[in-house]
Amino acid sequence: MDEVLDRLVDTAWEKFTVQTPRDRRFLIGIGGIPGSGKTTLSKRLTAALNARHAAQFPGSPPVAIFVPMDGFHYTRAQLDAMPDPATAHARRGAEFTFDGERFHQLVRRLHAPLTAATPTIYAPSFDHAAKDPKEDDIAVEPTHRIVVLEGNCASLPVFPFNPPLPSPPPRHPNQTFNP
């Protein structure tokens, strides 16, 4: 897996440093079925991107952050309120058990241009002990220019999980990365 991860890091770093405008974040989506290694890959990718950034820019804050979709699960109380609660609980993790619209809103906020006034964006995490999302637990700072989004539905080819986003203006060929 290390060789594959190295190639993925090289590709992501190239796209970030060469193609991503300075006023934008580079969003990476990793999707797949439960148990397929999405979380492991996402964490390792995030750590490797931060290590590469730290080697090039010592003392700078981390450039990448990992945001799993698990925080967008409907709560157990919301599943209880569905027309068929037993099925909703049994199929938790299926598309209809996620708050896709809320995930879409997060992606749009992360995709927006960065300015001096850009605030920290908070995302929910998932508390496995409580078996429910934990609100505002992940802080995506303006300095987080790479966001790794991971989850069962992160790459579904349907709205709201795969929202159409406007393309940012292309980066000038002579523009180089500067944190």
The Cα–Cα gap between 32 and 128 comes to 20
What is the β-pairing status of strands 132-140 and 146-151?
unpaired
30-58: b (≥16 Cβ within 10 Å) or e: bbeeeeeebbebbebbbebbbebbeeeee
- The region of weakest confidence among 46-55, 84-93, 123-132, 170-179 is 170-179
Nearby residues of 51 by Cβ (< 8 Å), 6 or more positions away: none
Reply yes or no on domain 2-151 having CATH 3.40.50.720: no
Residue 174 confidence (pLDDT) = 47
Mean pLDDT score of the chain, rounded to an integer?
Answer: 90
pTM score, two decimals? 0.87
pLDDT tens-digit profile of 122-159?
A: 999 999 999 999 999 999 999 999 999 999 877 776 66
- pLDDT (average), residues 33-56: 96
* Phi and psi based region of residue 74 (left: phi greater than 0; alpha: psi -120 to 50; beta: remaining): beta
